[in-house]
């Protein structure tokens, strides 16, 4: 069965304009000392709703094109309260393992709190997520505090396929000894396609540009693959 096409050039141009503006807000010119790498991130989300409450378990595997291969493994659990069709409030916790080299790994524990606001502009769905993170590296008694702001825009192409773009910037509130970045931590700009394959399955793939403001600056060209499974709730 062919999907009904919802493509509208005017709405698509607005989508791209909003995404471009959000990305340029934290754009940094290429530095001669910048290190670039190619990466692949895979994400699996298990989601369910019980009344106005939502829950998610989400493991992530992040590969890199260098001798480490497995750069990061992230596991996290979160729960949220959907106050209305526009506002939601979430709490989460996670554990991140990062390979510094072939033999050394850094373990990081995280807590976070989200405020999410959803809006519709013409046919575009826009989501603003503000996150406060508390982070602690294994072996250190110092906590790091970070702010993350993400804008995500979804533009329908057919009845079940959407063009999705987002930009997220990261700001450090403090600098514990184990942190390698300054006040501006990183920026992630992404674009891809999402498909609602069924009422319980969403799949997506795309490209993400990651800039980490360490010394030297690191840029990652990331291919992403995302699977979200929606389990029956109550």
Condensed to tens digits (0 to 9), the pLDDT of residues 117-148 reads 999 988 899 999 999 999 999 999 999 999 99
Predicted TM-score (pTM) of this structure = 0.86
Long-range pairs for 111-117: beta carbons < 8 A, 24 or more residues apart? 112/78, 113/89, 114/78, 114/80, 114/88, 114/89, 114/90, 115/87, 115/88, 115/89, 116/80, 116/87, 116/88, 116/89, 116/90, 117/86, 117/87
- The CATH code for residues 32-230 is 2.40.160.40
**Lowest-pLDDT choice from 14-28, 95-109, 139-153:** 14-28
- 27 or 212: whose pLDDT is higher? 212
**Domain ranges for the chain:** 32-230
């Amino acid at each position: 069965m062919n999907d009904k096409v919802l493509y509208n050039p005017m709405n698509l141009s607005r989508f791209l304009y909003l995404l471009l503006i959000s990305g340029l807000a934290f754009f940094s010119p290429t530095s001669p000392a910048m290190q670039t790498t190619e990466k692949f991130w895979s994400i699996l989300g298990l989601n369910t709703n019980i009344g106005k409450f939502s829950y998610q378990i989400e493991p992530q595997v992040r590969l890199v094109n260098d001798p480490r291969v497995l750069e990061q493994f992230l596991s996290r659990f979160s729960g949220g309260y959907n106050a209305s069709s526009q506002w939601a409030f979430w709490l989460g916790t996670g554990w991140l393992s990062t390979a510094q080299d072939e033999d050394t790994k850094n373990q990081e524990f995280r807590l976070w709190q989200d405020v999410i606001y959803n809006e519709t502009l013409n046919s575009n769905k826009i989501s603003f997520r503000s996150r406060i993170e508390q982070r602690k590296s294994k072996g250190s008694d110092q906590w790091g505090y970070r702010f993350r702001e993400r804008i995500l825009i979804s533009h329908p192409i057919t009845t079940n396929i959407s063009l999705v773009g987002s930009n997220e910037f990261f700001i450090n509130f403090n600098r514990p000894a184990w942190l390698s970045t300054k006040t501006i931590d990183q920026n992630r700009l992404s674009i891809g396609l999402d498909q609602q394959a069924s009422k319980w399955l969403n799949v997506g793939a795309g490209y993400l540009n990651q800039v980490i403001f360490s010394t030297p600056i690191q840029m990652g060209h990331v291919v992403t693959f995302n699977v979200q499974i929606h389990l029956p709730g109550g």
